[in-house]
Structure 1
Amino acid sequence: MARKKSAQGTPATAALTAAGVPFVQHPYVHDPSAASYGAEAAEALGIDPSRVFKTLMVDVEGRIAVGIVPVSGSLDLKAIAAALGAKKAAMADPAAAQRRTGYVLGGISPLGQRQPSPTVLDSSALALDTVLVSGGRRGLDIELAPADLVRLTNAIAAPISSLAAAKSGP
């Protein structure tokens, strides 16, 4: 059964509204030929890619989890596995990700997912006043405080992006 949009918009914006969390919607015109949804959002909105985060679904030893990393980097699969107490991780099957979240690829938000999953936010987000994540559809990002994102998704923060892992390494 498909999740209906609420009067507030997408399930992500509805979850933020219900929780009383302040957020700003940043709509933009989605280009279906864009190679990267996250990079497209950063460019279309004129926002530094280190502040725009992509939501990636991963399979961590048979269970689905969420990794949230800046679009300026990439997800370090070993780092997210370690953050979740596992040995390895792989990108989740796209169809499974869409079924689990209720969102389409390129519009998967870490908020308002059909079935919540263990979530890891790249620790670089904690140094920022606000971050942008998908608002639950292609062409919509939402800006909120990283602390609110952590609280609403029950996320843990860890260095899981290729950029963060390189900075924290020896």
Structure 2
Amino acid sequence: MSKTTRATQVLSQTKVAFSVVTYDYDPGADRIGLQAAEAIGEPPHRVLKTLMAELDGKPVCVVVPSDKEVSMKKLAAAFGGKSAQMMKPAEAERVTGYHVGGISPFGQKKKVPTAIEQQALTEDHVYINGGQRGLQVRLSPRDAVSVLGAIVAPIVAE
């Protein structure tokens, strides 16, 4: 497995501190983020999943703890939109240039607005997909927000 992806290249160019962690990706896992957390021995709230959604018909990227679900209502409100829905997997792959299970918010083909769940900022470090199945990057959540130009908002369902 290559540890160099568009995501790791973007992080290297921005000079933020990060490290790369690999694990055995299970394509049959019901919940990819939870499988990643278990595989690397981290609590699920520290391993963030990257989801693609549509907000009023336009793509947005959403980064939330792997043990939480996104509230579409809160997501729409965070961006000042009317309605949000999850993007279909094939469309997410087309927009990001990554395969499902390896979608990273870093280095996507087209830069889209990104939201990160505010709970993530209570952690010293988090893990986010590094642009390949079985590859996570470990970094400060504040650095992730900075690199992505992300908004921070309460976007998970209660």
**In percent, how many aligned pairs have the same letter?**
43
Structure 2 counterparts to residues 14-163 of structure 1, below 5 A? 14-162=9-157
CA RMSD of aligned residues (A): 1.2
Contact 1:125–1:131, Cα closer than 8 Å, also in 2: yes
Partners of 1:93 and 1:31 lie apart in 2 by 21
Compute the TM-score of the two structures, normalised by the length of structure 1: 0.89
Partners of 1:8 and 1:31 lie apart in 2 by 18
Partner of 1:4: none
Matched to 2:64, the amino acid is: V
Partner of 1:3: none
Contact 1:8–1:17, Cα closer than 8 Å, also in 2: no
Contact 2:53–2:84, Cα closer than 8 Å, also in 1: yes
Deviations 1:44-63 (A, max 9, x none): 01100010000010010110
Aligned pair count?
157
Partners of 2:18 and 2:60 lie apart in 1 by 24
Partners of 2:131 and 2:3 lie apart in 1 by 12
Gaps of 5+ in 2: none
Deviations 1:62-105 (A, max 9, x none): 10001110011111111111001012100012111111111000
Compute the TM-score of the two structures, normalised by the length of structure 2: 0.96
Question: Which of these two proteins has the greater Rg computed from alpha carbons?
Answer: 1
Partners of 1:32 and 1:97 lie apart in 2 by 17
What is the CA-CA distance between 1:8 and the residue it aligns to?
A: 6.5
Gaps of 5+ in 1: 1-6
Contact 1:23–1:144, Cα closer than 8 Å, also in 2: yes
Partners of 1:66 and 1:8 lie apart in 2 by 23
Matched to 1:68, the amino acid is: V
